[in-house]
């Protein structure tokens, strides 16, 4: 239910919501068929292989693009990148969905692909605006494989940006364990640095 309305999420039947994909050769996903890089792997698989990106199935309900101000460090200017909300489905002991936890994703460069397809769109300058191709290609009420970077804290430092001024936001390296349910944290909003989004097939 969203705002009192029943929503059907395409491609959500029989999804293993506890699936974790960290192997670029994992056959549980039909990898995007984009042009191979120098490594011989298409970009999505290359990102998983080279940068240790970890994919989790999540639901994207609507194109609500938000913003979050990051404070600049070491003389660098502040930045206000776009954020996209996804929902991580949490399950009971039998694997049945019981609730959805909102995960705010922040992408300095979102790379958008589709399972088994050739879609290849990228955001630039931290922003996703309505006239951008990536915004137009986003699909609502479907499942995505959301690729989370393993270097959350270090990633902000490399960009000379900080979120230390915020309270109630969990944005460090421990978010991976929270998303996987290995560490319990029901108090903070999870903010995940993401650079890879793959739309799951709906049929």
Would you state the pLDDT for residue 3? 54
pLDDT in tens, 71-98: 998 889 999 999 999 999 998 888 888 8
Token output for 91: 């399950």
Would you state the pLDDT for residue 118? 96
- If pLDDT is split at 50, 70 and 90, which confidence band does 61 have? very high
- Give the position of tokens 């349910």: 181
Would you state the pLDDT for residue 19? 94
CB contact burial 121-145 (16+ within 10 A = b; e otherwise): bebeebbbeeebebbeebbebbbbb
Rounded Cα distance between 194 and 177, Å, is 15
Residues shown for the chain:
203
pLDDT in tens, 14-36: 899 999 999 999 999 999 999 99
Return mean pLDDT, the chain.
Answer: 91
- Backbone dihedral region for residue 148 (phi beyond 0: left; psi -120 to 50: alpha; all else: beta): beta
> What angle is formed at CA 139 by the lines to CA 136 and CA 142, rounded to 5 degrees?
170
| Residue 105 per-residue DSSP state | E
Q: Where are the domains of the chain?
A: 43-199
Residue 6 has pLDDT above 70, yes or no: no
Strand locations in the chain (E): 54-60, 66-67, 71-72, 82-91, 97-106, 111-114, 121-122, 142-148, 161-162, 169-170, 189-199
Would you state the pLDDT for residue 1? 47
For the residues 62-69, what does the mean pLDDT come to?
92
Would you state the pLDDT for residue 164? 85
CA distances from 30 to 27, 148, 192, 198 (A): 7, 18, 24, 10
Rg (CA), the chain: 17
pLDDT in tens, 162-182: 888 888 999 999 999 999 989
pLDDT in tens, 110-167: 999 999 999 999 998 788 989 999 999 999 999 999 999 988 999 888 889 988 888 8
CA nearest to 182, candidates 31, 86, 59, 54 = 54
Would you state the pLDDT for residue 109? 86
Would you state the pLDDT for residue 4? 55
């Amino acid at each position: 239910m969203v705002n009192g309305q029943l929503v059907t999420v395409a491609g959500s039947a029989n999804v293993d919501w506890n699936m974790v994909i960290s192997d670029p050769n994992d056959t549980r996903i039909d990898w995007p068929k984009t042009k191979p890089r120098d490594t011989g792997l298409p970009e999505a698989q290359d990102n998983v292989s080279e940068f240790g990106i970890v994919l989790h199935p999540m639901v994207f309900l609507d194109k609500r693009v938000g913003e979050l101000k990051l404070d600049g460090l070491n003389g660098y200017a502040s930045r206000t990148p776009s954020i996209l909300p996804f929902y991580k489905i949490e399950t009971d002991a039998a694997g049945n969905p019981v609730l959805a936890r909102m995960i705010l994703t922040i992408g300095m460069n979102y790379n958008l692909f589709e399972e088994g397809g050739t879609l290849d769109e990228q955001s630039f300058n931290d922003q996703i605006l309505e006239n951008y191709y990536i915004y137009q290609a986003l699909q609502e009420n479907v499942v995505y494989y959301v690729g989370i970077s393993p270097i959350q804290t270090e990633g902000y430092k490399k960009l000379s940006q900080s979120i230390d001024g915020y309270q109630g936001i969990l944005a460090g390296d421990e978010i991976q364990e929270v998303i996987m349910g290995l560490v319990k944290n029901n108090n903070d909003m999870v903010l995940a640095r993401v650079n890879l989004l793959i739309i799951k097939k709906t049929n």
